[in-house]
Amino acid sequence: MESRGLTLFNTPIGPCGIAWRESRITGVEIGDADESETGYRLRQRFPDSESSTPPAFVTQAIEKIETLLEGGNPDFSTVPLALQSLPDLNRQVYEIILELKAGETTTYGAIARRLGDVHLSQAVGYALGKNPFPIIVPCHRVLGSNGKVGGFSAAGGIKTKLALLNIERAGASREADLFGGLPLQARPQAD
Compute the distance between CA of residue 1 and CA of residue 32 in angstroms, rounded to an integer.
Answer: 32
The per-residue pLDDT string of the chain (191 residues; one tens digit each, 9 = 90 and over) reads 568 999 999 998 889 999 999 999 999 999 766 888 999 999 999 999 999 999 999 999 999 999 999 989 999 989 999 999 899 999 999 999 999 988 899 999 999 999 999 999 999 999 999 999 999 999 999 998 877 787 787 878 888 889 899 998 855 443 433 444 333 333 333 33
How many Cα atoms occupy the beta-carbon half-sphere of 47 within 13 Å? Answer: 1
Q: Which of 68, 61, 120, 69 is nearest to 96 (CA)?
A: 120
Catalogue the long-range contacts made by 42-47 (C-beta closer than 8 Å, 24 or more residues apart). 42/6, 42/8, 42/17, 43/6, 45/19, 45/132, 46/4, 46/6, 46/19
Amino acid identity for residue 30 in this structure: I
Give the whole-angstrom CA distance, residue 177 versus residue 165.
9
| pTM: predicted TM-score of the whole model, two decimal places | 0.84
Structural domains of the chain ordered from first start:
4-70 (3.30.160), 85-170 (1.10.10.10)
Known catalytic residues? 139
d(CA 68, CA 135): 9
Sign of CA dihedral 69, 157, 78, 170: negative
Closest CA to 96 of 60, 139, 145: 139
SS3 content of the chain, % helix, strand, coil (to 5): 40, 15, 45
Q: Collapsing DSSP states into helix, strand and coil, what is residue 74?
A: coil
pLDDT of residue 176: 38
CB 55 within 8 A of CB 3: yes
